[in-house]
Chains A and B, each alone.
Chain A
Amino acid sequence: KAGVTQTPRYLIKTRGQQVTLSCSPISGHRSVSWYQQTPGQGLQFLFEYFSETQRNKGNFPGRFSGRQFSNSRSEMNVSTLELGDSALYLCASSFTEYSEAFFGQGTRLTVV
């Protein structure tokens, strides 16, 4: 079956703009988590959604938001982009919170 699909793969945005990233989980998976990966901070948890509800949120400012649709696809939005938001954003899906989480290839966001 198809894996986790993230779009787009690469993005270049200007400071102050906003961006929306998309994640399509593995069919049947209802849990979707988002992570930010930077060289300095490693993999940082952003938030997790299950059945359209945000269940957990990491320590990120309110500029980072997300949502999940009824088909389990998820989007994350970052408003008022800052240079420090440049990172690889990874999405993971799993059947439940106790099962294996499978990752997409990520979206590399560069803010200039």
Chain B
Amino acid sequence: SQQGEEDPQALSIQEGENATMNCSYKTSINNLQWYRQNSGRGLVHLILIRSNEREKHSGRLRVTLDTSKKSSSLLITASRAADTASYFCATDALASGTYKYIFGTGTRLKVLA
């Protein structure tokens, strides 16, 4: 089963609006990463937030982490058409004594011009 589950699965907004995506996970983590993927191409790393951090910013991106609820959110402010992409969260999961990243199912964001 997926470690991370994004919500909603799809989101359509107007340019200039804010977009919020959520990610829930099941087990304890060391960190959580958010990625963007355009049209089945490679994933672009957006932000890494560690388990002892609650909020992190990068440009128009704001990520929060609530370890008590095992959830994270990604906020994109003042969205642009170029933000149209799929967004994934990835959480590290302990396996065989070392960590590997497990990805959620993704949120497909469409920003309408």
- Say if the beta carbon of B2 comes within 8 Å of chain A: yes
Measured between beta carbons, the chain A residues less than 8 angstroms from B43 are 90, 92, 103
Count of CB-CB pairs between chains A and B under 8 Å = 63
Question: A105 and B42 in contact (CB under 8 A), knowing A55-B96, A55-B98?
Answer: yes
Interface size on A, residues (CB 8 A): 27
> Bound complex: CA of A50 vs CA of B40, how far in Å?
27
When C-beta atoms are compared, the residue in chain B nearest to A98 turns out to be: B30
- Closest Cβ of chain B: how far from A44's Cβ, in Å? 8
Measured between beta carbons, the chain B residues less than 8 angstroms from A98 are 30-31, 92, 99
- Say if the beta carbon of A104 comes within 8 Å of chain B: yes
- Say if the beta carbon of A81 comes within 8 Å of chain B: no
- Closest Cβ of chain A: how far from B29's Cβ, in Å? 11
- Say if the beta carbon of B100 comes within 8 Å of chain A: yes
> Bound complex: CA of A106 vs CA of B42, how far in Å?
6
- Say if the beta carbon of B25 comes within 8 Å of chain A: no
Query: Are A97's CB and B100's CB within 8 A?
Result: yes
Query: Could you list which residues of chain A lie within 8 angstroms of chain B, going by C-beta atoms?
Result: 4, 6, 33, 35, 37, 42-43, 45, 48, 50, 55-56, 58, 88, 90, 92, 97-106, 108
